[in-house]
Amino acid sequence: MSDNGPVQIRCPVLNVRRVDAYYAITVVAPGIAERFRSGQFVTVGVGGDHSSTLLRRPFAVHDVKPDYGGTVEFLFSVRGTGTAWLSERRSRDLLDVVGPLGRPFPLPRDPVNCVLVGGGSGGAPLFPLAQSLRRRGCRVDFVLGGASADRVFSALSARRIAETAAFTTDDGSFGTRGRVTDVLGRVIEEARSDAVYACGPMEMLRAVTAVAGSRGVPVQVAVEETMACGTGICMTCVVPVVGGDGITRMARACVDGPVFRGEQVRFDDVGTIPFDALGAPGWKGSSAARAAESARDIA
């Protein structure tokens, strides 16, 4: 057991609120709040102790505050029985929360210019990131997109925190009609961005990585994969990722991610086992690859 690792706690709900098309729940969770770094997520048990819905739901953390010793807010949309149950929670109900989980966004040492790109509820984890970057003296610009106006998350906060904030919607009901990548290139140029951070659907992350890459700007992406455990043991949330050693591995989004360097994610091969991945059918590993694997410290 380690002191800076995740904790599992029964947290009282402070409040549940509607935010456009989403719900936001704030829980009192000092142990999680004090350990949290932006990009990390929590998992929440749904349906109560005797529920037939076994699996925890993973949520990015939208906000952490020092009130009541430490509160954590996460955002979700109702997609099934689990999230419907969550949306019906009320103040003082208890939730079983585990966190913080996963690798956080790496932060730049110097006060550089950063553009933060979010799709739908994927915008949520960018807000604590923006605060961290601002505290380091970084310039922050936002690009947030969604299917429609009510799915562009927290436009007001984005305007308040960031130097500039651009918005896109698929239906044109808010901001520019189109995708975040339709405006990203312009934002990067105008803001002279040095780094891009992105969270959202895999397709969006692929496109953002391509736009940033074509301008030579490094990009960190936080993936949103379905997962059973969130702690690294179930092996269901894997994504093909190229390591620093050039070897592709089926990396666990929950513990090896959710944050990866964009260019290291093999977006074209998501949902497959690339033929050259470590241990793919017919794979013949070199002794060097094995030695590298053995030396790796995964946990």
Partner 1 sequence: MGRVGPDLRIRLGGVELPNPVVTAAGCAGAGRELDRFFDIASIGAVTTKSMMLEPNAGRPAPRMAETPSGMLSTTGMQGPGVDVFLQRDLPWLLSRGGRAIVSVAGTGVGEFGELARRVSDAEGVSAVEVNLSCPDPGAPAGRHFADDSERAAAVVRTVRSHTRSGLPVLAKLAADVPDLVALARSCVEAGADGLSMINTVRGMAIDTRSMRPAVAGGLGGLSGPAIRPLAVGCVYRVHEAVPEVPIIGMGGVRTGEDVMEFMAAGATAVAVGTTSFSDPSACARVLRQFTEALEARGVGRAADLVGAAHGSGAGV
Query: Strands, E, within 155-247: which ranges?
Result: 164-169, 176-177, 195-199, 219-222, 238-242
Measure the CA–CA gap between 28 and 72, rounded to whole angstroms: 6
37 lies in the site for partner 1, by CB under 8 A: no
Which residues, 6+ apart, have CB-to-CB distance to 192 below 8 Å?
113
Sheet holding 164-169, edge to edge: 176-177, 164-169, 139-146, 113-119, 195-199, 219-222, 259-261
> Segment near partner 1 (CB under 8 A), from 139-147, 164-172, 188-196, 281-289?
281-289
> Segment near partner 1 (CB under 8 A), from 49-57, 128-136, 145-153, 166-174?
49-57
> Segment near partner 1 (CB under 8 A), from 21-29, 179-187, 190-198, 232-240?
232-240
2 lies in the site for partner 1, by CB under 8 A: yes
Measure the CA–CA gap between 113 and 7, rounded to whole angstroms: 34
Coil/strand/helix, residue 165: strand
* CB-CB contact of 226 with 197 (8 Å): no
Measure the CA–CA gap between 136 and 133, rounded to whole angstroms: 5
16 lies in the site for partner 1, by CB under 8 A: no
State the nearest-atom distance from the C-beta of 273 to partner 1, in Å. 5
52 lies in the site for partner 1, by CB under 8 A: yes
Nearer to partner 1 by Cβ, of 43 and 169: the residue is 43
User: What Rg value do the Cα atoms of the chain yield, rounded?
Assistant: 19
Give the one residue of 32, 55, 95, 195 binding partner 1; rule: CB under 8 A.
55
> Segment near partner 1 (CB under 8 A), from 5-13, 113-121, 173-181, 210-218?
5-13
* CB-CB contact of 33 with 253 (8 Å): no
Measure the CA–CA gap between 32 and 48, rounded to whole angstroms: 21
Nearer to partner 1 by Cβ, of 45 and 145: the residue is 45
83 lies in the site for partner 1, by CB under 8 A: no
278 lies in the site for partner 1, by CB under 8 A: yes
State the nearest-atom distance from the C-beta of 299 to partner 1, in Å. 4
96 lies in the site for partner 1, by CB under 8 A: yes
Site size toward partner 1 (CB under 8 A) is: 48
State the nearest-atom distance from the C-beta of 57 to partner 1, in Å. 10
Q: Tell me how far apart the terminal alpha carbons of the chain are, to the nearest angstrom.
A: 12
Coil/strand/helix, residue 68: helix
Q: Which residue has the tokens 């609120």?
A: 17
250 lies in the site for partner 1, by CB under 8 A: yes
State the nearest-atom distance from the C-beta of 139 to partner 1, in Å. 36
233 lies in the site for partner 1, by CB under 8 A: yes
Residues near partner 1 (CB under 8 A): 1-2, 5-6, 8, 45, 52-56, 96, 98, 225-229, 231-239, 249-250, 255, 270-273, 277-281, 283, 285, 290, 293-296, 298-299
